Amino acid sequence: RAKSQQRAGHFYFSRSMGVEIRERVRMMHALRTGFAKGELFVVYQPQIDLTARRPVGAEALLRWQTADGTYISPDRFIPIAEYSGLIIDIGEWVLRSACHELVRLREAGHRQFTMSINVSQVQFRHPYFLDMLRSALEETGAPPEFVELEITESMAMEEPDLLIKMLAQIKHTGVSIAIDDFGTGFSSLSYLQRLQVDRLKIDRAFVTEITNSARGSSIAEMVIQLGRNLGLSVIAEGVEDERQAEILQSLGCPLAQGFLFARPMATTALYEWLNDEALPGSA
């Protein structure tokens, strides 16, 4: 009896695991063929100078729309791309696409525009990452000083020595580095000081908090202060309403990104938006 229960339990366990694995494998195949068929595309969300209320750059964000029209969130398919190794090719393609777009934006007169690109830790650890980065910059003609790579804080936590070395080498290419989702990864302040990064990106959760309670802005305030003390740029992500923008501005946050100003957009929409943007709070 005990034995059959055990077996039954085991069966149940492996069946549910089997479902999960099958689903993951199915999505991995769909992603591989979808990527080959051009179902992936990149959208761009403007980044705003809070004082001037002017766009100064954009973040490239990956999108996947399958043949039947369904959108799959990057939060769902990026982990699968990482797990399967597909992120190496997909990530290179995103980087090249975003660099191309930066060059086109410059040709259209946006000479000071910066381009931020998310980089997965799997890409970052790949032995040819630096070579890939260098040739993408060279072949697209994107000026490195206007390109920024976003790495997450949790990623910054693992293997500190490797990261410190990598960041120094990336610095050599002229590209800058932002720590994404900052405040969620609990990296120590002394460690942060050793990292050659240029910008901290306040996580959306802390931006949302700003208007939620009396002390809701304390973490955002701390990150802004930290950035100032370390000589780093600071950007707030996920700014959805004017009150958040005003408070961030009064705390001395120089940059912001969020639905209040603009959603991530396909390139044609981005150009239209740049031509006739009338940002909330601008003169």
Interface pattern 180-219 for Mg ion (x via CB under 5 A): xx--------------------------------------
Please name the residue ranges forming H helices in 40-175.
74-84, 87-107, 121-125, 129-140, 153-157, 160-173
Whose tokens are 């090249």? That residue is 96
Window 5-44: residues binding ligand C2E (CB under 6 A): none
User: Residue 45 interacts with ligand C2E (CB under 6 A)?
Assistant: yes
- Comparison of 101 and 180: residue with beta carbon closer to Mg ion: 180
Check residue 238 for interaction with ligand C2E (CB under 6 A).
yes
Per the CB < 8 A criterion, the answer to whether 39 and 65 are in contact is: yes
Q: Rounded to a whole number, what is the distance in angstroms from the first to the last CA of the chain? A: 78
Rg from Cα positions in the chain: 21
Task: Quote the tokens at residue 178.
Answer: 């932002």
**In the stretch 139-158, what mask flags binding to Mg ion with x, by CB under 5 A?**
-----------x--------
Q: How far is the CB of 278 from Mg ion (least distance, A)?
A: 26
The binder of ligand C2E chosen from 24, 74, 184, 277 (CB under 6 A): 74
Query: Could you tell me which residues come within 8 angstroms of residue 173 by beta carbon, excluding any fewer than 6 positions away?
Result: 130, 133, 134, 137, 144
How far is C-alpha 26 from the geometric centre of its chain's CA atoms?
A: 26
Q: Which does 11 bind (CB under 5 to 8 A by kind): ligand C2E, Mg ion, none?
A: none
Residues 84-123 touching Mg ion, rule: CB under 5 A, are 118
CB of 77 or CB of 113, closer to ligand C2E: 77
Q: For residues 16 and 282, which CB has a smaller minimum distance to ligand C2E in the complex?
A: 282
Structure token digits, residue 156: 């910054």
Count of helix runs (H) and strand runs (E) in the chain: 12, 9
Shortest gap between Cβ of 3 and ligand C2E (angstroms)?
46
- Judged by CB under 6 A, which of 68, 75, 107, 161 binds ligand C2E? 75
What CA–CA distance (Å, rounded) separates 146 from 112?
A: 8
Q: What is the DSSP letter of 108?
A: T
Which of the residues 122 through 181 are near ligand C2E (CB under 6 A)? 150, 180-181
In the complex, what is the shortest distance from the CB of residue 279 to ligand C2E, in angstroms, rounded to a whole number? 14
Residues that bind Mg ion (CB under 5 A): 118, 150, 180-181
